[in-house]
Structure 1
Amino acid sequence: MPTLEHNALVEMFRETPELAPHFLVTLFDVDVPQHASVAVVESSIDQLIPVEFRADLVLELRDASGALVLAIVIEVQRDEDPDKKFSWPVYVTVVRARKRCGTVVLVVAPGADVAAWAAQDIDVGLGHIKPLVLGPAVVPEITDPAEAEKETELAVLSAVAHGNGPNGLAVVQAVLVALERLDREHAAVYFQVIWNGLREPMRQALEALVMERQIEGEATLPSFMQKLIDRGRLEGIREGELKGIREGELKGKRDTLLRLLARAGIALTHDESERIQACTDIATLDHWIDNVLGAKTAAEVLS
């Protein structure tokens, strides 16, 4: 059964069919024929024998006169499927025969292992067919928010392909900026696809980044992220961080007070030492620190 990730990537090309020839030119250096339109057509590829092959998407490129100049068969592949090595050559030959134009298969494979498998030559007996595979080796790491806004769909593919890599957080940050420019529905679907592909360390890093910005008052959680990032967990992290900051400040004040008392030669009883350690009010500790100057006894300091 197709997953949300599979369907979302198919819909990306269905809603913006110009992406496919654009990627062929920019990422694969394919000499795409001059064309005036790109249209989605039927995805079922019937033969005279009682077998139906169904591709994820078929696109037609036509020139200004309406003549068909290229067909692109798009397949989203998230897992290895040995049957595809037999069906992909069928797509090329049958579509080419029916439409009387050049035909290519473009496989969208976000995972590195699946992409490497998909890119292998397919032996058809008297030669080989090599699919064009849009995977991590071809999709660039987009870390510049401006570039992500310009090439939003490519930035989404970049986050899916490289989100768990060494530059994963920068890649995800860049696409988040671009997603905020989209309508809520598209942004939510794309973010879920990205989020589902992130492993736990990168999810934690993203949560920590959001938490840090909220603490600093820089940003609130974008609406398309709210359903997926656990706000309760985020608030727990935030509360823990703030508590840690406060505890660190209290400890620093106590240590300063104890050092000043030692330098002044003022000895503390067990109860007085416990009182200082138990104090959780920063203003009180500041008051005691000020009292050290000129004091002769601990009672004068802790007054």
Structure 2
Amino acid sequence: MPSIRHEAPLELLRHNPLLAAALLVGTGIQLPVEATAAVSDSNLTTCNPPEFRADAVTLLRGIDGSRLAVITESQSAAPKPRKRRAWPAYVAVAQSQHNCDAVLVVIAASRATARACRRTIHTGHPGFSLAPIVIGPHNTPDPTNPAFASVAPELTVLAALTHALDLTEDTNRRMVLDKLATLDRETRTTYTRFVQHAATNAARKALEELMASPTYRDDFVDGLLEQGRAEGEARSLLRVLTARGFAVPDHLRTHILSSADTAQLEAWMDKAVVADSLDAIFDN
């Protein structure tokens, strides 16, 4: 089952695809001019097996018509040899599917993971080697940089996830809450959960105490209570599905557990009690 540590960076990309462009600033990659961004199909399978499914693919489009496909992989540990060997194929297939250049960005959760991911992948063909672009604790873009204003909340959460941001510092905790307070309630609740998951026990406790202070209480406390209710509803729903004999796939389990919408979870629960298939429950 995919962990929150793995899924959180990808959720940030799905919510704000321009994050893919921000991660490439300073890498030497030529970005499309005044690019817009859209999440693309992450299935990079060709007509023949094997299947190649990247964690995320974002297509950047410039006002001049230029395009760039950005493949993003989330790594909470060193990649296995089979995964590393697939990465050059991801790039080759993406540039073929989208008829434009393609690059690979790996988000690493620790310095050790970043070092492992940076290793050049040699394919055996002369001149055809892939050096992944790795974003980790050493080089996560600064979320306070005005140039990244459009993705500041996402970069802030990403900096917490990669431990580029020291949450034991009160100044950093306040900066995180200030950025999250600008978001709608559902997104704020989801992002807060990601930050809490990334923090040490001491930092998490200090963060929660700060959220309960007069400065932030109105923005965060109700959301945290709602988050707790949503987590309870999600786990109850999964228990009902298991009891009724449904085999819940990993992607659906992750979707259920990450939902902060209690009304939606309750609606799924009502259907789960009587439905004869997963499609009947989750196809709205």
Flag whether TM exceeds 0.5 (same fold): yes
Deviations 1:23-45 (A, max 9, x none): 312x4343213265322221111
Partner of 2:97: 98
Partner of 1:129: 130
Partners of 2:196 and 2:47 in 1: how far apart? 43
Question: For residues 196-207 of structure 1, what are the structure 2 equivalents within 5 Å?
Answer: 196-207=197-208
- Identical amino acids, percent of aligned pairs: 31
Q: Give the AA of the match of 2:60.
A: L
Aligned residues: 222
Deviations 1:260-287 (A, max 9, x none): xxxxxxxxxxxxxxxxxxxxxxxxxxxx
* Alignment CA distance shift 1:89-1:144 (3 Å): closer
* Alignment CA distance shift 1:73-1:165 (3 Å): same
Deviation at 1:53, TM superposition (A): 0.7
Partners of 1:39 and 1:219 in 2: how far apart? 33
Question: For residues 171-190 of structure 1, what are the structure 2 equivalents within 5 Å?
Answer: 171-190=172-191
Deviation at 1:74, TM superposition (A): 1.4
Question: For residues 1-303 of structure 1, what are the structure 2 equivalents within 5 Å?
Answer: 1-25=1-25, 27-34=26-33, 36-64=35-63, 67=65, 69-82=67-80, 83-125=82-124, 126=126, 127-140=128-141, 151-162=152-163, 165=166, 168-207=169-208, 209=210, 214=213, 220=217, 222-223=220-221, 224-226=223-225
Partners of 2:61 and 2:2 in 1: how far apart? 30
Q: Give the AA of the match of 1:183.
A: D
* Alignment CA distance shift 1:178-1:64 (3 Å): closer
Q: Give the AA of the match of 1:192.
A: R
Q: TM-score, normalised by structure 1?
A: 0.63
Is the Cα–Cα contact under 8 Å of residues 57 and 70 in structure 2 kept in the other structure?
yes
Partners of 1:164 and 1:18 in 2: how far apart? 21
Q: Give the AA of the match of 1:93.
A: A
Partners of 1:165 and 1:190 in 2: how far apart? 17
* Alignment CA distance shift 1:172-1:59 (3 Å): same
* Alignment CA distance shift 1:72-1:44 (3 Å): same
* Alignment CA distance shift 1:43-1:134 (3 Å): same
Q: Per chain length, whose mean CA-contact separation is higher, i.e. which structure has more relative contact order (CA < 8 Å, sep 6+)?
A: 2
Q: Which runs of 5+ in 2 are unaligned?
A: 229-284
Q: Give the AA of the match of 2:3.
A: T
* Alignment CA distance shift 1:141-1:112 (3 Å): farther
Deviations 1:110-144 (A, max 9, x none): 32222221122112223421111121111156579
Partners of 2:150 and 2:102 in 1: how far apart? 31
Is the Cα–Cα contact under 8 Å of residues 18 and 151 in structure 2 kept in the other structure?
no
**Which moves more between the two structures, 174-183 or 164-173?**
164-173
Partners of 1:165 and 1:15 in 2: how far apart? 24
Partners of 2:215 and 2:143 in 1: how far apart? 23
* Alignment CA distance shift 1:46-1:218 (3 Å): closer
Partners of 2:59 and 2:216 in 1: how far apart? 43
Partners of 2:33 and 2:145 in 1: how far apart? 30
Q: TM-score, normalised by structure 2?
A: 0.66
Is the Cα–Cα contact under 8 Å of residues 149 and 177 in structure 1 kept in the other structure?
no
Deviation at 1:99, TM superposition (A): 3.0
* Alignment CA distance shift 1:28-1:172 (3 Å): farther
Q: RMSD between aligned alpha carbons?
A: 3.1
SS state of the match for residue 60, structure 1?
Answer: strand
Deviations 1:132-165 (A, max 9, x none): 11211111565799x8897111111122223774
Partners of 1:48 and 1:189 in 2: how far apart? 37
* Alignment CA distance shift 1:103-1:228 (3 Å): same
